[in-house]
Amino acid sequence: MTRAQFLNELYRRLPGLTQEQAEQHLTYYAEMLADRMEEGMSEEEAVASMEPVDVIAQRILQDEGVPEGQPPRWPDLPETDGSRFTKTPDFPKRRNWRKLAQILLWAAAIAAAVSAVGRWRAQNISSTIAESSDAPPIEDVVDWRTHNDEEWAEEWTEEWTEEWAEEMEQWASFDGLYDLWGLEIGPDGIYGGNFSISPSGIVLSGGGREIFISPDGIALNNGAEELTDSMVGAKFRFPSETYRVNAGEIDSVGINWTGGIVKVRSWEEDYIQMQEFSDKKLTKAQELAYSTDGGTLSISNGGSSDKGLIVWLPKSTWNDLTVNTSSADIYWDQVCAEYGCAHSSSGNVTLSNSVFNVLETGASSGQSTLRSVTAVELQTSSSSGDVYLEGVVAETMDVSTSSGNISGFAAGNSISLSATSGETNISSGAAGSLRLNSSSGNIKAALQDNSPGSVEVQTSSGDVELLMPEHWGFALEFDSNSGYFDRGPFSVVRVEDAYIADGFPAIHIEAETSSGDLRLAANP
Amino acid sequence: MIDPQVKRGLLDVCVLSALRRGDSYGYQIIKDLSGCIGISESTLYPILRRLEAAGRLTVYTVEHNGRLRKFYRITPEGVQAVGQFLESWPEIQRVYDFIKECAEHDTCAVSQ
């Protein structure tokens, strides 16, 4: 007997149970069989090692208090291969061409979307979505709320909130689900290969990035921009119920998530709220799972791997805030924790407006963006992902990447930046020490505001460019096999192995390269 | 072979005790108990549900190799239940001794 036959037989012998009850039991036995097969049993051996179906069924019915011989409480015995108890069932698709005319309403919706996007492009705030696979500079990503054309922004808001929402409301009353020209069209919106239009907003995908158009505005999601709550809703069309947890005894939150988006943000309420968003209606088993143990709230993605999750936390200093994902992008906004850890294997990690005692972030191949983040100890690592630092302040900061690039502005007492083959382009307000390390990548560091006591630079073949105010003085030791030293606008005298420049404040610079050049330049 | 009625009472404690070693899932619990007391799948599931309803364990789901696996975790109430069982052992021992004495001498202290 195969696993599917076993489960079907069992299912057939459980009349009198509700379908939900029956499926709970079948899920348990499906898991038992899967565990056996995972340990090396064949399908037939796994089934043979179970008790006879009759015995199991009798036990279940006894346990549920259902007398044998009851007629089924569900209408028809479903056709199943057994996999429905361990895999995500497909969302049922109904094709009812009689209601095709209703789709015309969606045509109006599409027209409105296209018109909106057209105006957006006309305002020159979108030019790179499909033209280049390189991420645009952060400053090129424009949110309409900061756009200087207030009239246009006002018009957009009015149009969205009134006309567009009205259209969506009408559409949501339809009950069909259609396939048309490769599009999936239903009451929840239109979903195509690289775009979706839903009551929550519009998502256009291309060039490895996404444009979100929602009542909150327009943003290009390249992993560096703020992701509003409604953008999560725009990407995943089915919102779940909201789960609420009393925050009274909770001081730590741990999230394990696979794919999609995980957003953690603070709010004014005094309880924790969770809501997930998915591409399909979720069964109970596919919903997120959470539990509390001691003071820790643990959240995982349950049986569906590609979903959006928003967690709203009361404004408080959390003891431990940890999020681990496989491919899901991580967004934190306005959180405060003694210890924070955000790590994604292939997703992006974006933290903004947050404060920590100790913060560790990692994005193996994704992009790490820290914006207005303060920490006593900060450690950020990546393998091939880029690291953007914008207004990051830390007592000690350790940023490392292998082939990714490091850029932005960082300040602190002790800053260490290491990019093996990636480029480092940083403005630094290091007050104590600044260490820059590279193998083949070039380094460009602009020193400003606070003068670091010392700067250490190590590179093999990468070139180094140090910019600093022209009135600063320094004692520089340059050790290189074949690298060239360019003093730039600074007047230096050679004293033994050091280059000395008069000025105030005076800093100590040690640079060691193999073939890389060192060039000094004035910081404007 | 243990009388089913006696075994039923023991199994709850056995399952909780297996979970004191750490969170576990159905098949692993069966394997952990196999050296001590036999338990089938159809026996385990009602026990797990009963213990969960009594607040002696909690359940959470973890994705494992592309499928779902339910894990069970003992609660402080479950730990307390195991403790109560251990504390009642002298009483159980007295009952055992009484039964044994009756069986060996075909009489016992109570009947005299």
CATH no. for residue B88?
A: 1.10.10.10
Domain-terminating residue out of A206, A235, A264: A235
- The rounded distance, in Å, linking the Cα atoms of A524 and A446 is 10
Q: Given a cut of 70, is residue A263 above it in pLDDT?
A: yes
- B46–A59 CB contact, under 8 Å: yes
Q: Which amino acid does the sequence have at A252?
A: S
Query: Above 50 in pLDDT, residue A97?
Result: no
Q: Which of A32, A59, A303 comes nearest B61 by C-beta?
A: A303
- Say if residue A5's pLDDT is above 60: yes
Would residue A420 count as lying in a domain?
no
Helices (H), A42-91: 43-48, 53-64
Nearest to B65 among A25, A38, A289 (CB): A38
Residue where a domain stops, chosen among A85, A117, A142:
A85
Residues A58 and A119 in one domain: no
pLDDT at site A496: 78
Instruction: Name the pLDDT band for B69 (thresholds 50, 70, 90).
Output: confident
Question: A117 is written with which tokens?
Answer: 């996007």
Q: Would A243 be classed as within a structural domain?
A: no
Helix axes B76-87, B89-105, angle to 10 degrees: 40
Radius of gyration of chain A (CA): 29
Q: Which residue has the higher pLDDT, A45 or A11?
A: A45
Beta carbons of A28 and B26 less than 8 Å apart: yes
Name beta bridge partners: A443. Answer: A424, A464
User: How does pLDDT run across A375-418, given as a tens digit for each residue?
Assistant: 999 999 998 889 999 888 888 999 999 888 999 888 888 999 99
Measured between its terminal Cα atoms, the distance across chain B in Å is: 30
Task: Categorise residue A472: left if φ over 0, alpha if ψ from -120 to 50, beta otherwise.
Answer: beta
Separation between Cα atoms, residue A283 and residue A447, nearest integer Å: 55
One-letter-per-residue 3-state SS of A339-372: EEEEEECCCCEEEEEEEEEEEEEEECCCCEEEEE
Mutate to test the interface with B, among A27, A32, A304 (most CBs of B within 10 A): A32
Instruction: Spell out which chain B residues touch chain A, with contact meaning CB-CB distance below 8 angstroms.
Output: 25-28, 40-43, 45-46, 49, 58, 60-63, 65-70, 73
Interface check for A303 against chain B (CB to CB < 8 A): the answer is: yes
Closest residue by Cα to residue A139 from A231, A229, A225 = A225
| Residues A69 and A153 placed together within one structural domain of the fold | no
Query: Would the pLDDT of A128 be above 70?
Result: no
Under DSSP, the state recorded for A164 is I
Is B61 within 8 Å of A302 when comparing Cβ atoms?
yes
Q: Does A38 touch chain B (CB under 8 A)?
A: yes
* Containing structural domain, residue A204: 97-235
Rounded CA-CA distance B67/A271 in Å is 32
Burial class of residue B1 in the structure, from the number of CB atoms within 10 Å of its CB (0-12 exposed, 13-18 middle, 19+ buried): exposed
- Strand partners of residue A512: A458, A479
Residue A312, in any domain of the structure: no
Mean pLDDT over A113-117 rounds to 51
Classify residue B111: in a domain, yes or no: no
Full domain range(s) for residue B90: 4-105
In this structure, are A173 and A50 located in the same domain?
Answer: no
pTM for the model: 0.54
Region A481-504: mean pLDDT is 86
Residue B103 makes CB contacts below 8 A (sequence gap 6+) with none
- As for how many domains chain A has, the answer is 2
Q: Looking at the domain assignment, is residue B12 inside a domain?
A: yes
3 state SS for A472-508: CEEEEEEEECCCCEECCCCCCEEECCEEEECCCCEEE
Q: Do A68 and A197 sit in the same domain of this protein?
A: no
Number of domains in chain B: 1
Domain membership flag for residue B110: no
Residues A59 and A120 in one domain: no
In a 13 Å sphere around the CA of A327, the CA atoms on its Cβ side amount to 5
What pLDDT does A68 receive? 60
- Domain for residue A377, yes or no? no
- Tell me whether residue A483 is in a domain: no
Tell me, yes or no, whether A264 lies in a domain: no
Least trusted range by pLDDT, from A102-106, A242-246, A506-510? A102-106
Q: Is the pLDDT of residue A351 over 90?
A: yes
CA–CA distances in Å: residue B71 to residues A34, A40, A445, B24, B48: 15, 21, 51, 5, 11
CB–CB contacts below 8 A, A to B: 69
In a shared domain, residues A101 and A67 = no
**Residue in A131, A307, A137, A143 with CA at minimum distance from that of residue A213:** A143
In a domain, A362, yes or no: no
Backbone angles phi, psi at A384, to 5 degrees: -110, -5
Looking at the structure, tell me whether residues A102 and A182 fall in a common domain: yes
How big is the CA angle at A236 (ends A230 and A237), to the nearest 5 degrees?
90
**Looking at residue A187, what is its pLDDT?**
65
**Which of the given ranges, A191-205, A212-226, B65-79, has the highest pLDDT on average?**
B65-79
Residue A137: its pLDDT value, please? 38
Q: Does A59 contact B60 at a Cβ distance shorter than 8 Å?
A: no
Residue B37 in any domain: the answer is yes
CB contact under 8 A, A32 and B41: yes
Q: Are residues A140 and A205 in the same domain?
A: yes
Q: Which residues of B touch A303 (CB under 8 A)?
A: 61, 63, 67-68
Q: How far is CA A238 from CA A170, A222, A229, A278, A281, in A?
A: 18, 23, 14, 5, 6
Residue of B nearest to A25 (CA): B45
Q: Could you give the CA distance from residue A218 to residue A220 in angstroms, rounded to a whole number? A: 7
**Is B49 a domain residue?**
yes
Cβ contact A51–B46 (<8 Å): no
- Nearest CB to B63; choose among A25, A35, A305: A305
Closest-CA distance of chain B to residue A223, Å: 26
Q: Is residue A255 part of a domain?
A: no
What is the per-residue pLDDT for A207?
52
SS3 A74: coil
Q: Which of A343, A308, A120, A127 minimizes the C-alpha distance to A231?
A: A308
